[in-house]
């Protein structure tokens, strides 16, 4: 045994009585630990990118800067902040992952955050990460201000698990509420239309309600629609996606992102998008697990909502269907009539005809 290591010794007296002795902790080590400067890394997160949340973020930065300055022996390493990122997963939270890496490298020895839901809304992730930090040498504490919880204190894990479960439950409830709002919007025939090549969106936000000509008038074609029509024409004439890509390059037609050469993924997206024949299919994908945010194709797990003839068509439904046969896509347009809408996974499909 190393003579410098603390030890417990036992011996017997002549009459057989056991003597028990404990060697106390080294006072120098204890004092050195107490006087050690805490390298503090506050973590804050705002869940949206709105102006109001940006103000909240600046207030949190100011709060933590002053908070660390009020504690002698504390040194502010950095303020780690994520903007507009959900806390249900750690994958996309760059600042959070940088903070954990700094803890493992010894750059941060103490984490401060407002509350458990700001740190993580996933119970498993929250408990796992706090355990990992606790096992480091020296151990790194996470202090949750609202709950008054320090993860290095006794019985902290039980309380932390309970609070993390509440945060995850709150997130699940918000997710269900959002799903209901989106589905309610679809049932009222109000689609969500993102940027669409060949259409002009500048009037779309002014469309108050979906009347028979509401979206059609608010989403007119622009000059790029001629390029869309050419792509469909070339495909129906027997051109491959690579040949269409080359023709667009030779003609000097830039991609939607402004690049000189299109990629075949963008070309396929345009040639398989039902909006170019005047229809809109809503809820084509769904998120089944709120924790991983992974979108999967909706093949009947949830209702599908279809608006027919609501957009100014660039190609006819027959041309669009022929294009899907060439591409090997499921010919959705053939299944959107009164006789076949109830077949297979499309039995939950809701049709709106204009």
Q: pLDDT tens digits, residue range 128-162?
A: 888 899 899 889 999 988 888 888 887 777 767 77
Rounded distance between C-alpha atoms, residue 184 and residue 204, angstroms: 20
Do residues 295 and 287 make contact, with C-beta atoms less than 8 angstroms apart? yes
| Structural domains of the chain ordered from first start | 34-170 (3.40.50.1390), 191-353 (3.90.1750.20)
For residue 59, what pLDDT is reported? Answer: 82
- CA torsion angle for 114, 115, 120, 121 (degrees, to 10)? -140
The pLDDT tens digits for 81-132 are 887 655 455 677 889 999 999 999 999 999 999 888 788 767 778 888 888 9
d(C-alpha 166, C-alpha 49), whole Å:
24
pLDDT given for residue 226 in this prediction: 92
| Buried b or exposed e, range 16-31, using 16+ CB within 10 angstroms | eeeeeeeeeeeeeeee
- Does 343 score more than 50 pLDDT? no
Task: Collapse the DSSP code of 330 into the 3-class scheme (helix H, G, I; strand E, B; otherwise coil) and give the result.
Answer: coil
Enter the pTM of the model.
0.49
Average pLDDT of the chain? Answer: 75
Residue 182: both structure tokens together: 């989106």
Judged on CB neighbours under 10 Å (0-12, 13-18, 19+), 304 is buried
Residue 4 has pLDDT above 60, yes or no: no
Lowest mean pLDDT among 150-154, 228-232, 257-261: 150-154
Query: Cβ distance 139 to 150 under 8 Å?
Result: no
Cβ–Cβ under 8 Å, residues 41 and 111: yes
Model confidence at 55, in pLDDT bands (50, 70, 90)?
low
Helix (H) or strand (E) holding 278: none
The distance between the two most distant Cα atoms of the chain, rounded to a whole number of Å, is 109
> Could you tell me the two tokens for 244?
């269409």
| DSSP β-bridge partners for residue 74 | 38
* pLDDT (0 to 100) of residue 341: 40
């Amino acid at each position: 045994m190393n003579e410098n290591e603390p030890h417990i010794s036992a011996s017997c007296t002549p009459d057989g009585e056991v003597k028990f002795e404990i060697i106390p902790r080294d006072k120098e080590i204890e004092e050195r630990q107490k006087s050690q400067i805490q390298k503090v890394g506050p973590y804050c997160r705002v869940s949206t990118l709105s102006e109001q949340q940006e103000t909240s973020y600046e207030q949190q930065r100011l709060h933590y800067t002053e908070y660390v300055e009020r504690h002698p022996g504390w040194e502010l390493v950095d303020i780690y902040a994520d903007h507009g990122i959900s806390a249900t997963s750690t994958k996309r939270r760059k600042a959070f992952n940088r903070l954990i890496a700094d803890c493992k490298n010894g750059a941060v020895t103490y984490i401060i955050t407002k509350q458990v839901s700001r740190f993580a809304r996933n119970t498993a992730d929250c408990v796992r990460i706090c355990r990992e930090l606790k096992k480091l040498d020296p151990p790194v504490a996470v202090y949750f201000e609202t709950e008054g919880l320090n993860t290095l204190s006794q019985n902290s894990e039980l309380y932390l698990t309970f609070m993390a479960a509440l945060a995850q439950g709150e997130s699940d409830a918000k997710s269900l509420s959002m799903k209901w709002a989106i589905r309610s919007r679809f049932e009222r025939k109000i689609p969500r239309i993102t940027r669409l090549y060949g259409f002009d969106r500048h009037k779309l936000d002014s469309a108050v309600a979906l009347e028979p000509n509401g979206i059609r008038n608010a989403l007119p074609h622009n000059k790029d629609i001629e390029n869309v029509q050419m792509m469909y024409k070339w495909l129906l004439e027997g051109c491959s996606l690579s040949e269409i890509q080359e023709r667009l390059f030779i003609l000097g037609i830039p991609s939607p992102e402004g690049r000189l050469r299109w990629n075949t993924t963008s070309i396929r997206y345009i040639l398989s998008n039902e909006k170019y024949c005047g229809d809109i299919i809503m809820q084509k994908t769904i998120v089944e697990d709120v924790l991983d945010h992974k979108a999967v194709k909706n093949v009947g797990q949830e209702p599908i909502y279809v608006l027919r003839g609501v957009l100014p068509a660039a190609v006819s439904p027959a041309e669009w269907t022929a294009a899907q046969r060439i591409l090997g896509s499921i010919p959705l347009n053939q299944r959107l009539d009164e006789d076949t809408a109830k077949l297979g996974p499309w039995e939950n499909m809701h049709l709106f005809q204009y």
